[in-house]
Structure 1
Amino acid sequence: MTITPGAPPVPDHLSAARDFVLDAIGITRVVPVVVVDGPDDGVAVTRALVAGGLPVAEITFRTAGARDAVAAVADQLPDVLVGAGTVVNVKQVDAAVAAGARFLVSPGLSRAVVERAHEHGVPIVPGVATPSDIIAALDLGLDVVKLFPAGVIGGVAAVKALAAPFPDLRFVPTGGISAASAPEYLAQRSVLAVGGSWMVDKSLIAAGDWAEITRRTAEAVTLAQTTGENR
Structure 2
Amino acid sequence: MVPLYLSFSCSLCLRLSSWVKGHAYLHGRDYTSAINAFRQLEETSVLSRNVDILATLGETYYLAGDAKNALSMLQRANAVDHLNLRGTDLLACLLAGEKRNRELEELAMAATSVTDSAPQPWIIMGYYCQLSKRTTKAIYFAHKACSINPRSVEGLLLKGTLLLELKKLQEAVMHFREAMQIAPHRFEPHKGLVDCYLAMHRSREAGNHCK
Given the two structures, how large is their TM-score scaled by the length of structure 2? Answer: 0.30
Greater Cα radius of gyration, structure 1 or 2:
2
* Bigger proportion of residues as helix: 2
Does 1 or 2 have the higher relative contact order (CA < 8 Å, sep 6+)?
1
* Bigger proportion of residues as strand: 1
Given the two structures, how large is their TM-score scaled by the length of structure 1? Answer: 0.28
